Structures are given as structure tokens and as C-alpha cells.
Homo-oligomer: A and B are copies of this chain.
């Protein structure tokens, strides 16, 4: 099977954990271990989020010289290098010589008129108390929004339209290479009138980018891994039920949290509807079990309505 796995921000940095080299190493090792059985049995393409990392790089640039931070497209590219390298190395250390692993920079075209540019919504970087968030918003022209009890910087998150390196990714996958790509949802670029590319200040949702990638690669499965064990009908509320198996149609009757399960369910449903493949959502550690229907939530056309875990 050809499988695209999206590693969520919360799979690479646990909630409440501070981003530093040690936490990142530890979490990426854990992710590589969870993906190893899949990498050995299947043709695997890995994508990952970059919210905490791209936010940190922006803060570092700002701290060194106010106003000198590189634009978000360049920082997105830096995080593809940073995180891609660490995943590649961790995976190579487990797989040894059984599989080639390659990390490819990935530009993703977005629509220059995407309404997201006027309505920033993607949280990046650390959490702040309200007062500090308001001060930073004022000083740096940031948009900030509540995130649980705290506040975070938010940036535009336009929809991915086209993966520019798709031909090269396909070529490597066809040759049996385990590919890491579209990190952070890809580096967002728009097309100028003359057809040339221009990087833009945004962070693409990695689940939407992963669904596009999985469709383009005609993958059999799209797995989205996070720190929640399944999709719930009402998250954190009385009477919440963990969904075991559902059709895209059955899921369309529910509402899921924007910026959290929402994009995952959307992405899974789009992929399943477009391709007839399956899509799984659940815990990083359950990666293989989700694929086998033994854990997490499976979206598939090949079921009756909806079924729940006991």
C-alpha cells in the first residue's frame, strides 16, 4: 500500500511542553519509532506540522534585530530543513539500510485571493498571557487569538492548490524511497501574472496539504496522527462518543473544532471521497493499529453510516 502519514504538531511537541532541542529530539524519535512498522511494510510518505517551530524562528529573528526576521515563507523552508532532517535521521537510525529515506523541500501553490490572507487563523509559536499578547500584537503588527486559556499569534492559512514538486515526489516514491515532504504544509507560494512564483507570508494547514498530496499520489491511505486517540462526536463534552468507523457522509452531520479535529476530518473526508482510499485519525503510537482498524477513527466509503468504540 502507498500511505501518506501527517504528523501533527501535538505529535511532535506534547501539549504544555517547551520547544527546545531536547524535547524535539525526544518527540521525533518517538514518532520515527511509531512509523517504522509502516515504513517497512508499505510505501510511506511523511508530512509534518511546523507551528511551534516556525513561531520560534520568527521570535528568534525578532529578538536578534527587531524587524529583521525573515518572512514566513523562508522560515517555513527553514523548518522543513530542521524537522525533516531530524525525522530523516531518526528513521534512518531505525530502518538502517532497509529503506532509503529522503527529505524534499516542497513549495505549495495557494490562491493569491484566498480569503485567509484577510483572516489570519493559524496559531504559531508559544502561548502568551493576554496582556503580553496584546502588547506584541501592537508592537509587531501581529494578529493574536485566544488558544484555550492563553493567546497565540495567528497567521494566514490559505488552502493548498498545487504541490509544485509532485513529479519528483512521485518519482522517488515509485523507486521505493521513503519520502519526507510538504513539511509545515509546504512553503506557500503564489503565481504572479507572468507565471513566476512568489513566496507569501503564511502557514498552510498540513492536514489539507497532506490530503492534496495523498490524492495526487493516488495513495491507498491517509493517516493523520496526533495526541488524541480518536475523533469524538462532542469533544470534551458529556455524551461524547469515540467514532470507530464512518463514511464521509455520516461525518458531515457533525461539527468538529476548527484548527484541531475540524481540518483532519475535512481532509480525511475529501481524500476518501475523491479517491476511494481510507483515512485514519488517532494517536501517534497507534499508527499501525489505526491502519488495521484496531484503533482510532477510520473514514471509508466501505461501511454503513457510523460505528462507535464501546
Contact = CB atoms under 8 A, between A and B. Distances in A.
Interface in A143-174: 164-165, 167-168, 171-172
Contacts of A82: 70, 74, 77-78, 81
Interface in A29-72: 56-57, 59-61, 63-65, 68, 70-71
A278 interface: no
A164 B102 CA distance: 10
A68 B187 CA distance: 26
B103 A104 contact: yes
Nearest to A87: B105
A247 interface: no
Per assembly, the copies of the chain total 2
A79 interface: yes
A92 B197 contact: yes
User: Which secondary structure dominates chain A's binding surface?
Assistant: helix
A239 to B, nearest CB: 44
A169 to B, nearest CB: 9
Interface of A: 20-21, 56-57, 59-61, 63-65, 68, 70-71, 73-74, 77-82, 84-86, 88-89, 92-93, 96, 100, 102-105, 107, 164-165, 167-168, 171-172, 175, 177, 187, 189, 195-197, 199
10 contacts: A60-B63, A70-B82, A74-B85, A78-B82, A81-B84, A85-B187, A89-B197, A93-B196, A102-B168, A172-B172
